[in-house]
């Protein structure tokens, strides 16, 4: 995908999350930090059912948009889901788990180039 298309997809994902009452939706630009994705979007759900519903709706909407090869991780978890939309990774957390993992802080920090290579 081109950068412009990825940015448009990010906006559409954020809108889907907002439309479905996800809380504290935050996007993190990963372009200069890791080759795994261009963006990470983090959101919270207010219950395990809400988290499950958001993840299912988001997968369905991504398919409608044309992103068919998405993967869902955390099927057995009631507190966290991850959707890999190829160029964008979406985490949906229960608020306590989100605070515990604090991905916003970890991925928002500048990472020295020597630490980027594994």
For the entire predicted model, the pTM comes to 0.88
- pLDDT tens, 30-81? 988 889 999 999 999 999 999 999 999 999 999 999 998 899 999 999 999 9
Helix locations, 20-66, DSSP H: 48-65
CATH (domain of 11): 3.30.460.10
Element (H, E) at 72: strand 71-73
Surface-to-core class of residue 2, CB atoms within 10 Å of its CB (0-12 exposed, 13-18 middle, 19+ buried)? exposed
- pLDDT tens, 11-22? 999 999 999 999
Look up the domain containing 41 and give its range.
3-116
For the chain, what is the domain count? 1
């Amino acid at each position: 995908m081109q950068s412009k298309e990825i940015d448009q997809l990010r906006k559409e994902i954020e809108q889907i999350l907002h439309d479905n009452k996800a809380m504290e939706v935050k996007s993190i630009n990963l372009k200069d930090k890791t080759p795994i994705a261009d963006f990470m979007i983090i959101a919270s759900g207010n219950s395990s059912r809400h988290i499950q519903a958001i993840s299912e709706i988001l997968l369905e909407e991504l398919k409608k948009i044309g992103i068919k090869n998405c993967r869902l991780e955390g099927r057995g978890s009631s507190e966290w889901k991850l959707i890999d939309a190829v160029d964008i990774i979406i985490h949906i957390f229960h608020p306590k788990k989100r605070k515990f993992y604090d991905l916003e802080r970890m991925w928002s920090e500048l990472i020295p180039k020597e630490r980027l290579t594994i």
